[in-house]
């Protein structure tokens, strides 16, 4: 915080346009990097053809409207990422406990929580809760590095997730695995339905005619830079009725499917992509539903590195300046290099080098699982609009059509003083939300 920013902020607060500016901070949620727009919204009365302007930035502070950036990444924008995280929690929770347009009967359906990991691409230092890192073979690899590590690393230790020998580590396979994990997941869902049918003594066709496996899945990066998948799977009856299948049986089916499933590698014939042996499947009981929703939402705000150097697309020239740890840099460079190969062009590894090859979405769900971010956001938008109109004392007529025309005027706050006010506003909001959550109980967003 510098003196200039403070005097700019004071000037803003003292100006006659402050209430209007504060209203914009509020509608953009205190976004740290808002998009500045110039334009207006006209309303056409579809029966009379009358056109009038409902809103124009002409009368707004600096003649612009601040629109929230909507980023999910904390390193890009904290207030927007918190909002995103709240939406993620609602979306996951609704699929397990109902609400926001999802039927409450989901509570009674068989539900499991699954964690799937990547296989080993070479020994990495690991956090040792009850033993040394790699007690193991004496001797050295062909690059002359020790094969064992007897340290007991804590989570705070920078070495965790880094290879014992970077030259032995299979960076290519690690990047290709990230690039193919979405396909592996798709196949796992199909295999789970098959295993479920077999266990229930049904044909695949009969099972599919009666049931559907709905899911929400989120990905995160392990310290070694490999994708890690967490998912909630739920069995629905297609007719909307009760499901007479056991959650334990679903857990078995996932186990079976994940153990067997594989996807072809575009890099190496005969070395298909598979899940690692670390597989965790548990039945989700009623009491655990909230914990699981919070747990999944926690991953929403992260990027491939903690510091945020990889929270946006990069070019090869950017890589040295990112200040990445060696291991992450090697993964980024490998993705870039493989991205130059014609045979791998379809993986678009250069465009996704900042995600270490992974080009999926951090959260995906099957259609029937619960609500969507879009619906949650438009509900919020409609609410704000209604609120704004109520203040203006205007009602919305059903046969009116809104027509907006906007021009992009820039990104970020116009002055450091405005940025400071936005931070202050966001801080207040976060505290209000915390208080509200305590009052509303465990399911509040």
Among 41, 148, 168, 202, binds Zn ion (CB under 5 A): 168
Q: Establish if 123 lies at the interface with Zn ion (CB under 5 A).
A: no
Residue with Cβ nearer Zn ion (397 or 428): 428
Which of helix, strand or coil describes residue 400?
A: strand
Residues 6 or more apart whose Cβ sits within 8 Å of residue 241: none
Residues 6 or more apart whose Cβ sits within 8 Å of residue 90: 99, 100, 371, 376, 445
| Cα 422 from Cα 415, distance rounded (Å) | 11
CB count within 10 Å of CB 202 equals: 15
Residue with Cβ nearer Zn ion (150 or 383): 150
Which of helix, strand or coil describes residue 243?
A: coil
Residue with Cβ nearer Zn ion (273 or 426): 426
Residue with Cβ nearer Zn ion (3 or 129): 129
Contact region for Zn ion (CB under 5 A) — 96-104, 168-176, 177-185, 351-359?
Answer: 168-176
DSSP 142-204: TTS-BS-B---B-TT-TTTTSBS-TTTS-HHHHHHHHHHHHHHHHHHHHHHHHHHHHHTT--H
Q: Establish if 31 lies at the interface with Zn ion (CB under 5 A).
A: yes
Among 35, 149, 261, 309, binds Zn ion (CB under 5 A): 149
Shortest spacing between CB 332 and Zn ion, in angstroms:
21
Q: Whats the size of the chain, residue-wise?
A: 445
Q: Establish if 165 lies at the interface with Zn ion (CB under 5 A).
A: yes
Contact 309, 323 (CB under 8 A): yes
Residue with Cβ nearer Zn ion (137 or 286): 137
What's the angle, vertex CA 218, arms to CA 214 and CA 219, rounded to 5? 140
Residue with Cβ nearer Zn ion (348 or 381): 381
Which x/- pattern over 320-349 shows residues binding Zn ion (rule: CB under 5 A)? ------------------------------
Which x/- pattern over 75-94 shows residues binding Zn ion (rule: CB under 5 A)? --x--x--------------
- Residue whose entry in the numeric block shows the structure tokens 């009365």: 45
Question: How many residues bind Zn ion, per CB under 5 A?
Answer: 14
Contacting Zn ion within 218-277 (CB under 5 A):
none
**Residue 242: left (phi > 0), alpha (psi -120 to 50), or beta?**
beta
Residue with Cβ nearer Zn ion (77 or 94): 77
Residue with Cβ nearer Zn ion (58 or 151): 151
Q: Establish if 141 lies at the interface with Zn ion (CB under 5 A).
A: yes
Shortest spacing between CB 103 and Zn ion, in angstroms:
33
DSSP 260-318: H--B--SSSTT--B---S-EEEEEPPGGGHHHHHHHHHHGGG--SSTTSTTSS---GGG
What's the angle, vertex CA 56, arms to CA 52 and CA 59, rounded to 5? 125
Name the nearest CA neighbour of 100 among 90, 86, 111.
90
Contact region for Zn ion (CB under 5 A) — 11-19, 28-36, 225-233, 371-379?
Answer: 28-36
Contact region for Zn ion (CB under 5 A) — 93-101, 167-175, 374-382, 436-444?
Answer: 167-175
Contact 234, 216 (CB under 8 A): no
Residue with Cβ nearer Zn ion (151 or 158): 151
Among 12, 36, 125, 224, binds Zn ion (CB under 5 A): 125
Q: Establish if 133 lies at the interface with Zn ion (CB under 5 A).
A: yes
Contact region for Zn ion (CB under 5 A) — 23-31, 191-199, 215-223, 402-410?
Answer: 23-31
Q: Terminal CA-to-CA distance of the chain, rounded, Å? A: 32
Among 11, 45, 58, 167, binds Zn ion (CB under 5 A): 167
Which of helix, strand or coil describes residue 77?
A: coil
Contacting Zn ion within 47-76 (CB under 5 A):
68-69
Residue with Cβ nearer Zn ion (209 or 411): 411
| Cα 202 from Cα 181, distance rounded (Å) | 29
What would the two tokens of residue 33 be? 């990097």
Q: Establish if 143 lies at the interface with Zn ion (CB under 5 A).
A: yes
Contact region for Zn ion (CB under 5 A) — 8-16, 49-57, 100-108, 164-172?
Answer: 164-172
Q: Which residues bind Zn ion (CB under 5 A)?
A: 31, 68-69, 77, 80, 125, 133, 141, 143, 149, 151, 165, 167-168
């Amino acid at each position: 915080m510098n003196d200039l920013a403070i005097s700019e902020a004071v000037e803003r607060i003292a100006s006659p346009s402050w209430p209007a500016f504060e209203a914009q901070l509020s509608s953009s949620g205190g976004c740290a990097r808002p998009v500045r727009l110039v334009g207006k919204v006209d309303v056409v009365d579809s029966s009379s053809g009358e056109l009038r302007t409902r809103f124009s930035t002409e009368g707004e502070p600096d003649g612009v409207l601040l629109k929230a950036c909507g980023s999910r990444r904390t390193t890009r924008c904290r207030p927007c990422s918190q909002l995103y995280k709240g939406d993620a929690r609602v979306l996951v929770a609704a699929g397990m406990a109902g609400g926001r347009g999802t039927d409450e009967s989901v509570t009674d359906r068989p539900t499991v929580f699954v964690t799937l990991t990547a296989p080993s691409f070479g020994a990495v230092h690991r956090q040792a809760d009850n033993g040394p890192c790699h007690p193991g073979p004496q001797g050295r690899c062909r690059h002359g590095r020790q094969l064992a590590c007897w340290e007991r690393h804590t989570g705070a230790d920078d070495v965790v997730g880094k290879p014992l020998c970077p030259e032995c580590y299979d960076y290519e396979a690690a990047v290709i695995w990230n690039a193919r994990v979405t396909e592996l997941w798709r196949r796992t869902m199909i295999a789970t339905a098959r295993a479920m049918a077999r266990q229930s003594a049904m044909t695949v066709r009969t099972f599919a005619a009666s049931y559907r496996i709905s899911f929400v899945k989120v990905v995160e990066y392990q310290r070694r830079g490999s994708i890690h998948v967490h998912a909630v799977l739920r069995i629905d009856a297609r007719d909307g009725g009760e499901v007479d299948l056991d959650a334990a049986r679903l857990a078995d089916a996932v186990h079976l499917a994940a153990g067997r499933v594989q996807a072809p590698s575009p890099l190496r014939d005969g070395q298909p992509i598979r899940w690692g042996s670390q597989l965790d499947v548990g039945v989700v009981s009623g009491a655990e539903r909230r914990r699981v929703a919070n747990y999944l939402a926690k991953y929403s705000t992260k990027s491939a590195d903690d510091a945020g150097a990889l929270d946006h697309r990069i070019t090869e020239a950017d890589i040295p300046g990112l200040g990445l740890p060696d291991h992450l840099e090697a993964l980024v460079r490998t993705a870039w290099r493989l991205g130059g190969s014609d045979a791998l062009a379809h993986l678009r590894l250069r465009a996704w080098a900042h995600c270490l090859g992974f080009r999926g979405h951090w959260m995906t769900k099957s259609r029937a699982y619960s609500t969507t971010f879009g619906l949650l956001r438009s509900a919020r938008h409609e609410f704000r609009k209604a609120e704004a109109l109520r203040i203006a004392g205007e009602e919305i007529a059903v046969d009116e059509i809104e027509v907006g025309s906007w021009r992009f005027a820039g990104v970020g706050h116009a002055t450091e003083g405005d940025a400071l006010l936005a931070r202050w506003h966001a801080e207040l909001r976060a505290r209000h939300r915390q208080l509200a959550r305590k009052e509303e109980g465990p399911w509040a967003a």
